[in-house]
Amino acid sequence: MRTMTSEEAMTEGLAEEMRRDAAVLTFGEGTATKGYKLVGEFGPHRVRNTPLAEGIIAGTAAGAAATGLRPVIDLLFAPFMTFAMEELVNSAGKLRYISGGQFSFPLVTISRTGAGWAVGGQHNHNVEAWFVHAPGLKVVMPSTPADFKGLMKSAIRDDNPVIFFADIGLLHTPGEVPEGEYVVPIGKAAVRREGSDVTLISYAKTVQRCLDAAGVLAERGVSAEVIDLRSLKPIDEETILASVKKTGRAVVVHEASLTGGVGAEVAAIVAQKAFGALKAPVMRVAGPDAPPPASYPLEQAFVPSVERIVEAASLTN
Amino acid sequence: MRTMTSEEAMTEGLAEEMRRDAAVLTFGEGTATKGYKLVGEFGPHRVRNTPLAEGIIAGTAAGAAATGLRPVIDLLFAPFMTFAMEELVNSAGKLRYISGGQFSFPLVTISRTGAGWAVGGQHNHNVEAWFVHAPGLKVVMPSTPADFKGLMKSAIRDDNPVIFFADIGLLHTPGEVPEGEYVVPIGKAAVRREGSDVTLISYAKTVQRCLDAAGVLAERGVSAEVIDLRSLKPIDEETILASVKKTGRAVVVHEASLTGGVGAEVAAIVAQKAFGALKAPVMRVAGPDAPPPASYPLEQAFVPSVERIVEAASLTN
Amino acid sequence: MTTMELAVDRSVTEALESMLLIRTFEEKSAALQAAGQSPTMCTSVGQEASAVGVIRALGANDLILTNHRSAGHLLARGADPGKIMAEIQGKATGYCGGKSGSLHISAKELGVVLTSTIVGGELSLVTGVGLSLQMSGTDGIAAVFFGDGAATEGIFHESVNLATVWNLPILYVCENNQWQAFVHRKETMLTDHISEWAKGYGIESRTVDGNDVEAVYAAAREAVEYIRKTGKPYFLETYTYRLRGHMEPDDQAYVDKNELASWKTKDPIGAYEAKLLDRGAVTRDELDAMRERATQTVERAAKFAAESPYPSFDQLTADVYA
Amino acid sequence: MTTMELAVDRSVTEALESMLLIRTFEEKSAALQAAGQSPTMCTSVGQEASAVGVIRALGANDLILTNHRSAGHLLARGADPGKIMAEIQGKATGYCGGKSGSLHISAKELGVVLTSTIVGGELSLVTGVGLSLQMSGTDGIAAVFFGDGAATEGIFHESVNLATVWNLPILYVCENNQWQAFVHRKETMLTDHISEWAKGYGIESRTVDGNDVEAVYAAAREAVEYIRKTGKPYFLETYTYRLRGHMEPDDQAYVDKNELASWKTKDPIGAYEAKLLDRGAVTRDELDAMRERATQTVERAAKFAAESPYPSFDQLTADVYA
Ligand SMILES: Cc1ncc(C[n+]2csc(CCOP(=O)(O)OP(=O)(O)O)c2C)c(N)n1
Ligand SMILES: Cc1ncc(C[n+]2csc(CCOP(=O)(O)OP(=O)(O)O)c2C)c(N)n1
Ligand SMILES: [Mg+2]
Ligand SMILES: [Mg+2]
């Protein structure tokens, strides 16, 4: 199979959807500059640079979505979304419900986060849990180039606002991406490795760390199953619960800060709905409750390590 | 003991701290109009109306806090905080850490949320979990007039940004408030009722519903302990765990939407750290993953009812 | 009387009737609130000329965005008073099935797309609606109503600037009613006119006497023509005054008595009635008949709302997702 | 030579030396980045006159807020180049212990309070700093540096309006360098001058040639005096150009070659050297000596940074709370 980076895969997904549907357009700070190839193919009206103003970028997307377009907006880095919370949460997320179903908001936001570029806590801040806890939104955060493409396509086709997080640490790593039409459904997790003793549940860059941890655990005779959530809202309860009911043990892993992270939701689901099967405490391995530091070694230390995952999995035994 | 409403208690706490410390000042949209008595006592420089602009209200508070003042800002309703996320999260929450500890941000934000006034999803949206999942912030949400006062005083004295949520449904209910100096420490939960069979963990308006549920359960021979978290960050793990280790059963209750709510964090803590004591699934009873509707009967139905709490507690048996 | 005069004549009385309907509707809503029979709402008493003058200048395919103070805009657009009243009361028969309540009523069927009670929300959304219109290639325009308070939100700056840079077909209607809830406009800005701010962006702009329905209509007509011709946005400020409080009930204790009294003499309805009587365009009897019709209409609306059911409980989680 | 002339003379060469230090420092940083020995950073090459001219007009007790493009402001204020370089590299000896990196360096000891890399963050914070100064009753002022891009964020509108309404002692310094990362300013606004926007608020404002250090200094002096005398804010736009890319490395493929070339002829350092040589205020030998001193200083800084340790791992969770 051909390989490409996640960045390329995401762009390919966007370009294919723009080809398929004239209602799709994309804009953001530098979107046309960086996407000059898209400008070439789709013209300057469908690929636009904007002023430096996240609020109006998101608001424009919401207003356009409610009246027939399908905007894909690039908000650059996740912490900049703080300037667009009103438009994403109060408008895109709620106005369908508030209006009694009169409008829908088919839009996609892209933003980057996570360790990798040592850019510090105002560029790197994993806030996916906020959007999981906001009504009317969907949230995805892929870990492979194929999923970057397949989820981007699904996100664009979805009639609801989809918040698409790109893990900085994954953007430039190449991986296999199927040729032709390739769509990954929102709401469906992937079992990346099968196992029978413990379930490691993760998403984005820490999926690979879970896989590495599973390798280490295998050497110690522990068979770990690894689940890549991919979609954080809706979350694939079925896959999570089926696995934990089988293994009886769960470790949830993510880079976002521990307290109030998506891992809490996963742990809570497991503790309620797979309780009978649980043989051990539900463990969480996550970033500390601190902003990610810029200093490279510290930034790396922010991310759950293979050792910490192995240790947590061992504690469940 | 004298009684007053939560609204009055909160204002009394603020006034006392303004008397005690000249660095404390308060501003917001209509703060001086509604707080004309405070203007009378402390003058127009310390009690100010602002333009209608939440971002700059919060940013001004952060900048002032870093340079010697102790601002208390009124952001009115919780959904309006979406316009102030940048300033609260990226500045007040992170700039201490990012600057290597050069600055601190002693500020308090007040905002209202929750069912009670049938004002719909853009005035009523319980977003406390967002701030729990943001570094450098503290979050409180009291349930009694005494705690409104005591936590307001602690929040103002704290050298960190404190996000103070006022449950609309509680604001005008009177209750006892001790005379004189009365401070409630941040980070300390209150056991509102002791019990031995199940622990009901809640905060804000649903604490009373838990107490009512405990009454119903008692009639059925089930002894429920009721914990009022009061502080959501830091959260009082010790009190939660001590109780669940005693009862072996936990039900977490809040008005905020279920998915990704503070209840997920509590459930996760319990599932990891009290696992050995657990006799039953950790249950959550929460608002639906929807915006709160304006229509009064629907708005009321959004809030976990006594029946739902009783039912969840019964499922743990 | 020539056909032309007749047309003007009818338009004139329609404008007055529209204003009377709004006033009657809002005073009834407030009375119901005071009587404990309705939840709270904001009224636009004193600002009717702004709503009616602008909306009558729009075409049937033009789109409208409004805010928390929207009953006037909706009624001027021909909304069903019963469905508004029902929505205010959270009834299933309201425009939004009772989920909006008074604060965020939209009515797609009337082209009232998107209403937000987040002050400034309408300004963030209108650029997207304008973009849709631009991309669709029709000559439709989007009119957005917002207050002087909304103009102090940062999103105002972002919205007007983007609309100007992208040439979006938007009519910005700033209803400068001197109040931002409990704060007087003068406490929030040094300028008297929001149109002064607009100038900096390079958008065509103008302030009009918001209490003179004919002046508002004429200005809005000009603005709408300009937008259709050039594809560019236009900024119209209607200078007016909020005669009642911010939200019911409100004793207006914080309002300067002289200022209020002076603006009461400029009440857009009273002023227009006097003008029309003076011109001989209406008679006292016709006026009485109009008022009576408005009262009847509003009473029917109130009855409809009162008799309407609340939404069923399954609505609690309906329409979250498409 | 009179004492007065001498003083001017020294100030003149100090200004030049300060600009040379900034240029040398930033080019070294960029070279280290290119060599894989430093993380990325933004440079202010071409904008040195703005930083030096403004900062030299400030008093020792005045406070400064800056942004992602801050090395010039820090160095002009007398910051230790070694501590900046160490911070850029995430070393424990940097101004923020390595936690900031290049993008949000503040240095309380120099009065550089609060730096945010969120574009517009500095604008939201400065009103609070101004409020503290106002409440303290001193005559200190807060100077805030931000770009033309920051001016398109809504918070710009909120900040300038609040400062004007509340009479906060703030010097707004808009460094209009024609670029907002990869977007040309012209794509984001119809006006050429942000000071046009400022006018609407009623704030005193002015645009100055940002590549002429003496003109910037004179304008900033006047502004600072105005603020101290009136207690009111002042808006100063320094019109300049970003000669390097947005962030290292950047091939500037998207930049118009002619525009870039034309601004290169207006390089603030080259222009000032020529002017001073022409005036006889410096000799070629003195210039060479200055450059040599700058190079020495920067090499020492680079050595210091390179030899400095990374922060210890316990720093990961230190200083989250006070
Ligand atoms: C973002 C936000 N902040 C505050 C409020 C509370 N609020 C509702 S209306 C209002 C005043 C609005 O003033 P203006 O924009 O002038 O409109 P008007 O009410 O005068 O028509 C305020 C402060 C809100 N709804 N949204
Ligand atoms: C809120 C926010 N949006 C976007 C960015 C990414 N970004 C960093 S610098 C920059 C351009 C800033 O332009 P300007 O304000 O003119 O400053 P300059 O870089 O030209 O000095 C952008 C878009 C950011 N840091 N913060
Ligand atoms: Mg107003
Ligand atoms: Mg710039």
In tens, the pLDDT along C96-119 reads: 999 999 999 999 999 999 999 999
Q: Is the peptide bond before B234 cis (omega within 30 degrees of 0)?
A: yes
Q: Which residue has the tokens 């609060």?
A: D114
Q: B60 alpha carbon to ligand 1 midpoint, in Å?
A: 20
Where does ligand 2 bind, in terms of residues with CB under 6 Å? A 29, 52, 54, 76, 80, 83; D 68-69, 117-120, 147-150, 175, 177, 179-181, 242
Which residue type, as a one-letter code, is found at position B167? D
Output the DSSP codes for D32-87.
HHHTTSS------TT-HHHHHHHHTTS-TT-EEEE-SS-HHHHHHTT--HHHHHHH
Cα of D30 vs centre of ligand 4, distance in Å, is 19
pLDDT band at A259 (very low <50, low <70, confident <90, very high): very high
Cα angle D48, D49, D53; round to 5: 125
CA–CA dist A238, B301 (Å, integer):
28
Chain A residues touching residue D103 (CB < 8 angstroms): 119-120, 122-123, 294
Q: Return the beta strands (E) in chain D as ranges.
A: 63-66, 112-115, 142-147, 170-176, 179-180, 183-184, 204-209, 234-239
Q: Give the whole-angstrom CA distance, residue D146 versus residue D36.
A: 29
User: A252 near A266, Cβ under 8 Å?
Assistant: yes
Residue C10: what pLDDT? Answer: 75
Distance C40 CA to ligand 3 centre (A): 18
- What is the per-residue pLDDT for A1? 83
Nearest ligand for residue B52 CA: 1
At residue C92, the pLDDT reads: 98
Whether residue C5 has pLDDT greater than 60: no
Both tokens of C226, joined, read 């300009």
The label of the residue with tokens 């100055």 reads D208
Give the chain A residue nearest B132 (alpha carbons).
A260
Q: How do residues B239-284 score in pLDDT, each as one tens digit?
A: 999 999 999 999 999 999 999 999 999 999 999 999 999 999 999 9
> CB distance B49–C101 less than 8 Å?
no
Token pair for C37: 């029979």
pLDDT at D8: 56
Residue A91 and residue C118: Cβ atoms within 8 Å? yes
Residues of B catalogued as catalytic: 123
Element containing residue C236 per DSSP (H, E): strand C234-239
Tokens standing for residue A230: 């991919």
Residues making up chain B, counted from first to last? 317
How much is the average pLDDT of D180-201?
97
Q: Would the CB atoms of C124 and A86 count as touching at under 8 Å?
A: yes
Chain A partners of C94 at a C-beta cutoff of 8 Å? 100
C-alpha span between A191 and A253 (Å, rounded): 15
Contacts of D292 (CB under 8 A, 6+ apart): none
Give me the tens of pLDDT residue by residue for chain B, a chain 317 residues long. Answer: 899 999 999 999 999 999 999 999 999 999 999 999 999 999 999 999 999 999 999 999 999 999 999 999 999 999 999 999 999 999 999 999 999 999 999 999 999 999 999 999 999 999 999 999 999 999 999 999 999 999 999 999 999 999 999 999 999 999 999 998 999 999 999 999 999 999 999 999 999 999 999 999 999 999 999 999 999 999 999 999 999 999 999 999 999 999 999 999 999 999 999 999 999 999 999 999 999 999 999 999 999 999 999 999 998 76
pLDDT score recorded for residue B117: 94
What is the percent of chain C where pLDDT is above 90? Answer: 96
- Going by C-alpha positions, the residue among B236, A32, A254 that lies closest to residue D254 is A32
Among candidates B101, A66, D155, which has minimal Cα distance to C65?
A: A66
Is the complex ipTM more than 0.90? yes
In three-state secondary structure terms, D276 is: helix
Band (pLDDT 50/70/90 cuts) for residue C3 is: very low
Has residue C8 got a pLDDT over 60? no
Assess whether A123 carries a catalytic annotation.
yes
Structure-token pair, residue C307:
């008799």
pLDDT in tens, A62-77: 999 999 999 999 999 9
- The reply to whether residue D99 touches residue A293, judged by beta carbons under 8 angstroms, is yes
If one counts every other C-beta atom within 10 angstroms of the C-beta of residue C313, the result is: 11
Q: Fill in the amino acid letter for D65.
A: L
Q: Give which of B56, B26, B253 is closest to B155, Cα–Cα.
A: B26
Burial (Cβ within 10 Å: 0-12, 13-18, ≥19) of residue A180: exposed
pLDDT exceeds cutoff 50 at D1: no
Tokens at B137, concatenated: 């912030």
The secondary structure element, H or E, covering residue A8 is: helix A6-20
